Amino acid sequence: MSAPAPARGKTPARRPVPTRPDDTVRRTPAARRSRRAEAAFGFGMIGLAGAAILLFTIGPILASFGLSFFAWDVITPPRFVGLDNYAAIGSDQRVVHSFGVTAVLAFSIVALQVAIGLFLALLVDQRRRASTKAIFRTVFYLPLLASTAAVSIFMTYMFNERFGVVNYYLTLLGGSGVPWLTSDAGAVVTIVFVAVWQSVGFTFVLFVAALAGLPRDVMEAAEIDGAGPVRSLLRIKLPLISPTVFFACVIGLINAMQLFDQAFIMTKGGPGTATTTITMVIYQTAFQNLQFGYGSAISMVLFAALIALTGLQFTLSRRLVFYS
Amino acid sequence: MTAPSFSPPAQRSRSAQFSRSALTRRIGRAVGLVVLVLAAMVAFGPLLWTLTTSLREPAESFTNPPVWLPLEPDFSNYAKVFSEVSLGRFFLNSVIVTGLIVGAQIITCTLSGYAFAMVRFPGRGAIFALFLATMMVPVQTTIIPVFVLISRMGLSDSLASLILPAIGSAFGTFLMRQYFLQMPVELGEAARVDGASRFQVFRLIYAPMATPAMATLAILAFTGFWAEFYRPLIFLQSQENFTLPLGLVTLQGTFGTGSISVVLAGVILSMIPSVILFVIAQRRFVEGITAGSFR
């Protein structure tokens, strides 16, 4: 689940597990008692977190998997339907379409997040004064401090076709007003914009930290050898921060595939089904239509898609990510 | 003692090359600054628009061109979100939910992180791997059974329905474990020899040393749960139990068509705790984000 850490001062060094003083001591009854006591202590310590995770994550995954083979509306008892729910997904236009919508949104969001975040981080890394860096870091971080719900609300007003400030400036520049939230393409573009606007500070901060951690001597050596800005970026900086880029892609895609708040608040999945994401379909299926079994099946497919995508990224990373 | 000697021509070409690249670099840096300023305007613009519109008279809230600096700010919208809507209630609910979750996660994750780092017990590696694996699970996959479980426990439509499922955290456990792993074992061993119990070693020696990691965990948990929308939307029905994000969306539904200034006042108010926290602990926010990346 975790990428090996690049050598870095702050990274906790892996230390071998504390070893027991010596093997012969272990066999005495007193030592055995103390080992048992230590084990009991360990289980006691993980007890609270473990119980919560068992009850509210691991249990529910298994339950969700089990439920996906049943038809259940909460009121009447569950009825076993085998693989029917999964078969239904394939012929359910709404679900298939929502997967396409989610894929388009997620890939655009991640690509823009990483590209813009990296670009801005490289520019900020160029600034010499610490105060300049601090100002930009704060400004780009600010959107992360608002909840997605809050952001979706004020963006809905700003992108309003008739009264919104975005179209006001567009017409001022000689363009015409765009039906941002009331046309299919406009709604997709708006949601991508809002998601990227809010989260680009995340990738930005990641990349700024990674660039600041680059070894100075390597950069200086490259400069003396006559490497221009482009070559030092492509040959030195990018390979050295590739683990961070990879991390941003994995986390970004996992988050973007679960996009819900923006679509729910700004467009209600519309117009039509233009921005109905897979998470919205799960919400509608389970909590509005009370099809708990079918909803579980769709959520299992989303889970499988996330695992497959992450696995694919890890496979690709073997070629593209450089670990020093 | 032989100093490296350069022949004059080589020196000249070197400096010429240097000055040319210095010029292009200066131009590059100037262009870079312009791009950064433009990007900062895009990042900050919507927030500024929200703030200034929340300070306009409701009747003028949708009037273009927008006023970027209200010379006569009108704070009546801020009074209205409390008098005409129960924003205070939403706020209090959010404080209760987020506060209890953050407090609970600091306790449970410090305990479990310590155990995974410092205590030997059978199955430790496998259980930790299982913890980590749960970090991949999307909330949508567990929400249906959790919803059923919550209703069976009689907790539907309560703040407890949001708090209880969130008291443990695999990521928090991971974060705390990484921190405890850096600590020397010798301190605890010495204390044990002196007769301290295992829990005393943890509570009196190691836990106090882990406060920076607890602060990072607190920030992460706070930002995550303060903004949470999906679970409240599904678990809460009565308006008096709504947390801020859900309350704001409801507010938008009632006020959204006319005087949006009132809604935007609520939006700004909802951001204040995060902004204050960010001002106090900027570095911890950055650490929180990067904590996951350098595993």
Distance in angstroms (rounded) separating the CA atoms of residues A141 and A203: 10
**Nearest residue to B231 (alpha-carbon basis) of B246, B250, B221, B217:** B246
Distance in angstroms (rounded) separating the CA atoms of residues A309 and A302: 10
Asked if residues A138 and B36 have their Cβ atoms less than 8 Å apart, the reply is no
CB contact under 8 A, B65 and A168: yes
Selected residues 183-242 of chain A with any CB under 8 Å from a CB in chain B: 197, 200-202, 205-206, 209-210, 226, 228-229
Distance in angstroms (rounded) separating the CA atoms of residues B127 and A59: 15
Distance in angstroms (rounded) separating the CA atoms of residues A101 and A54: 33
**Nearest residue to A150 (alpha-carbon basis) of B210, B84, B87, B23:** B87
Q: What is the pLDDT of residues A118-127, one digit of tens each?
A: 999 999 998 8
C-alpha triplet B280, B285, B286: angle, nearest 5°: 125
Closest residue in B to A294 (Cα–Cα): B144
Neighbours of B250 (CB within 10 A): 17
Selected residues 67-106 of chain B with any CB under 8 Å from a CB in chain A: none
Q: Which two tokens stand for residue B292?
A: 């996951």
pLDDT of residue B8: 46
Distance in angstroms (rounded) separating the CA atoms of residues B105 and B213: 12
- Alpha carbon B106 to its chain's center: 15
- Return the minimum-mean-pLDDT range out of A205-209, A221-225, B54-58, B110-114: A221-225
Mean pLDDT of A305-318: 91
Distance in angstroms (rounded) separating the CA atoms of residues B125 and B123: 6
**Which of A205, A229, A296 has its CB closest to that of B144?**
A296
pLDDT of residue A285: 95
pLDDT of residue A5: 42
**Mutation test of the interface with chain B: which of A25, A41, A116, choosing the one with the most B Cβ atoms within 10 A?**
A41
Mean pLDDT of A74-96: 92
Distance in angstroms (rounded) separating the CA atoms of residues A89 and A225: 59
Which pLDDT band holds residue A4 (cuts at 50, 70, 90)?
very low
The CA distance from B67 to the nearest CA of chain A, in Å, is: 11
Task: Show the domains of chain A with their CATH numbers.
Answer: 36-80 (no CATH), 86-320 (1.10.3720.10)
Selected residues 15-74 of chain A with any CB under 8 Å from a CB in chain B: 15, 17-18, 35, 37-43, 45-53, 55-61, 63-64, 67, 74
pLDDT of residue A54: 96
Quote the radius of gyration of chain A (alpha carbons, Å). 25
Selected residues 243-262 of chain B with any CB under 8 Å from a CB in chain A: 244-246, 248-249, 252, 260
The CA distance from B245 to the nearest CA of chain A, in Å, is: 5
Mean pLDDT of A77-96: 93
CB contact under 8 A, B47 and A142: yes
Asked if residues A303 and B137 have their Cβ atoms less than 8 Å apart, the reply is yes
pLDDT of residue B75: 87
Asked if residues B85 and B249 have their Cβ atoms less than 8 Å apart, the reply is no
pLDDT at A229 over 80: no
pLDDT of residue B12: 46
pLDDT of residue B94: 97
Closest residue in B to A170 (Cα–Cα): B65
Alpha helices in A159-288 (DSSP H): 165-172, 184-212, 216-224, 229-232, 238-257, 261-262, 278-283
Asked if residues A244 and A11 have their Cβ atoms less than 8 Å apart, the reply is no
Per the document, the length of chain A is 324
**Nearest residue to A280 (alpha-carbon basis) of A300, A301, A295:** A295
pLDDT at A27 over 70: no
The CA distance from A205 to the nearest CA of chain B, in Å, is: 7
Global ipTM: 0.88
Averaged pLDDT score across all residues of chain A: 88
pLDDT of residue A323: 74
Question: Who has greater pLDDT, B254 or A81?
Answer: A81
Distance in angstroms (rounded) separating the CA atoms of residues B240 and B178: 40
Contact status of A136 with chain B (Cβ, < 8 Å): yes
pLDDT at A249 over 80: yes
pLDDT at A9 over 50: no
Calculate the alpha carbon distances from B284 to A222, B158, B211, B223, B281 in Å: 33, 32, 12, 12, 5
CB contact under 8 A, A248 and B133: no
> Cβ contacts (< 8 Å) between A153 and chain B: which residues?
248-249, 252, 263-264, 267
Selected residues 76-115 of chain A with any CB under 8 Å from a CB in chain B: none
Q: What is the pLDDT of residues A187-200, one digit of tens each?
A: 999 999 999 999 99
C-alpha triplet B135, B284, B161: angle, nearest 5°: 45
pLDDT of residue B254: 74
Intervals of chain B under pLDDT 50: 1-14, 295
Asked if residues B157 and B241 have their Cβ atoms less than 8 Å apart, the reply is yes
pLDDT of residue A1: 38
Residue type at B47 in one-letter notation: L
Distance in angstroms (rounded) separating the CA atoms of residues B212 and A175: 52
**Nearest residue to A151 (alpha-carbon basis) of A264, A231, A44, A273:** A264
Task: Show the domains of chain B with their CATH numbers.
Answer: 22-73 (no CATH), 76-292 (1.10.3720.10)
Closest residue in B to A19 (Cα–Cα): B120
Contact status of B237 with chain A (Cβ, < 8 Å): no
**Mutation test of the interface with chain B: which of A1, A99, A309, choosing the one with the most B Cβ atoms within 10 A?**
A1
Contact status of B48 with chain A (Cβ, < 8 Å): no
**Nearest residue to A293 (alpha-carbon basis) of A11, A81, A5:** A81
The CA distance from B108 to the nearest CA of chain A, in Å, is: 5
pLDDT of residue A31: 82
> Cβ contacts (< 8 Å) between A49 and chain B: which residues?
108-109, 111-112, 131, 167-170, 172-173
Distance in angstroms (rounded) separating the CA atoms of residues B191 and B201: 7
CB contact under 8 A, B116 and A306: no
Per the document, the length of chain B is 295
CB pairs under 8 A between A and B: 307
pLDDT at A84 over 70: yes
User: How many Å from the N-terminal Cα to the C-terminal Cα in chain A?
Assistant: 19
Distance in angstroms (rounded) separating the CA atoms of residues A255 and A158: 24
Distance in angstroms (rounded) separating the CA atoms of residues B295 and B291: 8
pLDDT of residue B17: 52
Torsion of CA B49, B51, B56, B61, to 10 degrees: 50
Distance in angstroms (rounded) separating the CA atoms of residues A148 and A138: 18
> Cβ contacts (< 8 Å) between B141 and chain A: which residues?
60-61, 64, 299-300, 302-303
Closest residue in B to A224 (Cα–Cα): B18
Helices A292-320 + A59-67 axis angle, to 10:
120
- Please give the share of chain A, as a percent, with pLDDT higher than 90: 67
C-alpha triplet B189, B195, B199: angle, nearest 5°: 70
> Cβ contacts (< 8 Å) between A299 and chain B: which residues?
138, 140-141, 143-144
Give Cβ neighbours of residue A165 (< 8 Å, ≥ 6 apart).
Answer: A157, A158, B49, B64, B66
CB contact under 8 A, B293 and A13: no
Question: In 3-state terms, what secondary structure has residue B277?
Answer: helix
Tell me which residue has tokens 């990674």: A210
Which pLDDT band holds residue A227 (cuts at 50, 70, 90)?
confident
Which pLDDT band holds residue A177 (cuts at 50, 70, 90)?
confident
The CA distance from B91 to the nearest CA of chain A, in Å, is: 13
